[in-house]
Structure 1
Amino acid sequence: MHPMPAPAAGAAPVIVTRPAADAQHWVRELRQAGLAAEALPLIDIAAALDTGALARAWQTLDRYAACMFVSGNAVAYFFKSPLASGLPPTLRLMAPGPGTVAALLAAGVSAAQVDAPAADAGQFDSEALWAVVGQRDWQGKRVLVLRGESPDAAGGAASSGRDWIARKWKSAGAQVDFVGVYQRRAPQLSEQQLQRARAASVDRSVWLFSSSEALANLLGQPALAGVDWRGARAVATHPRIVDAVRAAGWGVVVASRPALTDIRDTLASIESLYP
């Protein structure tokens, strides 16, 4: 493995809160851009508890017109199934953003079978995906949403996007089924990680949030109760996340498109705007 590039001298620390595997990729990309990125994963990813549901999904794929993968993790765990085989040729595979598209292509899916927002879309989310597929005829069709299981799977910020698009499909006459193919859990932070989080509330670090769930998992750490976040800065990759971080008390919150190139630009400019 090649050594991680060194950040530019004086660069403000960037705290990447994505799940561990994703965080390491983002850290490498940001460090290559001269930013002092480090990982503090605030979502743990594991295999789903109910493996039977995943098996049944593979056995009944021919009943569906489309499968929506909520993330690259959904793709990875779906194709890890022992029953994974060829996909029905008429099945449309839907992704909310380029990371999920890349995971599908890496799994051997043909690009011609994938629907997703354009690479230059303003956001990568359910709303952007619906703008691409919403005008199709969904009457009487079945759609399978492959997602992560989390404590608030019945609602809340972590599931608002997928619930929104499910309602859109149902309004268009489709039947929507959900299968949890992996788990999203709050991490058990080490004492060193907790100390880093406390320091990052005051030391000019910039928190990078791409999930409201990661924020909730941070705020839910008992050892961090009472931390004053007014001196903290953050970049958030969706308007809903921006609102959540501001409501949690961060003093500076800047919005960015979720593409890594845009995040790099936003992080590079935050120093001059909010020193």
Structure 2
Amino acid sequence: MSNKTIVITRPSGQARQLSEALQASLVDSGFTKDTVPQIISLPLLTIVPKGDDVLAGRITAALKSADLAIFVSPNAIECTMRLLERSWQEVSDRPLPIGVMGGSSLAALNNHGIGLEGNATKIILPQSNAQWDSESLWSELQALNWEWSTKKVIIFKGEGGRDWLAETLKQAGAQVEAFSVYTRVPLDLNSSAWNDVHEMDFAKSLWLLTSSEAVRYLGQATLSLDLASAMCPHHNIASAAEQIGFGKVFTCEPGDEALIAASRAWLSV
């Protein structure tokens, strides 16, 4: 096995999906038992869905009169649909379009049949996967030419996180209501999940970083990050990686396919 290591820092379920896809891609591209890298899962944050009936009732009531719903992440979609326990087209008194930041969220919606109905739910997302973020979604929303002062927007998110889009919509005149449908719990710094990380060669490691919050938490650990490399699918994440001291910081386009391609390119050097 190669002495190179790839560290996946997503929550466990999402990390497993990316790890399996990465391993399959490496095998397909000719990597052998002697050349394949070690792949470590280090779930820096755990997603904990909220599940109280009061929150579910408030969300159901708000959606009845909404004009647009925005999900900030696939986690927001999964946790919201768990709370609602009904099909999307049943939640509103009118066809309710959805805004998302990128392809992973689109896939999460499709997994729930949203956007695939006979009279398909309208899904709005940035057209370029190089710009899957809230700023680009706002550009797409502006292209609708809506009179925002007459619109009610519901945003589904995690506890904390960026409020840029909500503030931008409010400044445009929209009525905005945000619901936190999950919390993020940081990985205990004494967890055994860190063991493999402490034993690896940091100079031959690539960290796949997909959350600025997770990166900031990683900075609290005592690690030789100045020897390590980071791969980031967004400039905000790259900036956070630089701030906590990664020796080399690379950027790639968003999405698992881009992360996998970038990892393969790093391994070939």
Q: What is the Cα deviation at residue 61 of structure 1?
A: 0.9
Q: Judge conservation of contact 2:156–2:179 (CA < 8 Å) in 1.
A: yes
Aligned-pair distance for 1:104? 1.1
1:188-240 Cα deviation digits (max 9, x unpaired)? 255432232334562511100000111122233xxx33x33210111011101
Q: Evaluate the alpha carbon distance shift between residue 106 and residue 191 of structure 1 in structure 2; reply closer, same or farther with a 3 A threshold.
A: closer
1:123 aligns with 2:154: no
Q: Pick closer, same or farther for the CA change 1:148–1:272 going to 2, 3 Å.
A: same
The residue that corresponds to 2:40 in the other structure is 38
Change (3 A) 1:27 1:271: closer
Deviations 1:86-111, CA, capped at 9 Å, x for gaps: 13342111111111111111112125
1:17 CA drift (Å): 0.6
What does residue 123 of structure 2 align with? 114
The 1-side partners of 2:16 and 2:200 are apart by 19
TM-score, structure 2 normalization: 0.85
1:213 matched to which residue of 2?
213
Three-state SS of the structure 1 residue aligned to 2:230 is strand
Match of 1:237 in 2: 233
The share of aligned pairs that are identical, in percent, is 27
1:16-95 superposed matches below 5 A: 16-34=8-26, 36=37, 37-48=39-50, 51-81=53-83, 84-85=86-87, 86-88=90-92, 89-95=94-100
Kept in 1, the 8 Å contact 2:77–2:108? The answer is yes
How many angstroms does 1:38 deviate by? 2.9
Say if 1:19 and 1:232 are closer, same or farther in 2 by CA, change over 3 A: same
Q: Is the 8 A contact 2:42 2:194 kept in 1?
A: no
Alignment check: 8 A CA contact 2:3 2:204 kept: no
CA distance in 1, matches of 2:25, 2:5: 13
Which amino acid is 1:38 matched to? I
- Provide the residue aligned with 1:104 in structure 2: 109
Unmatched runs of 5 consecutive residues or more in structure 2 = 27-35
> Secondary structure of 1:183's match?
strand
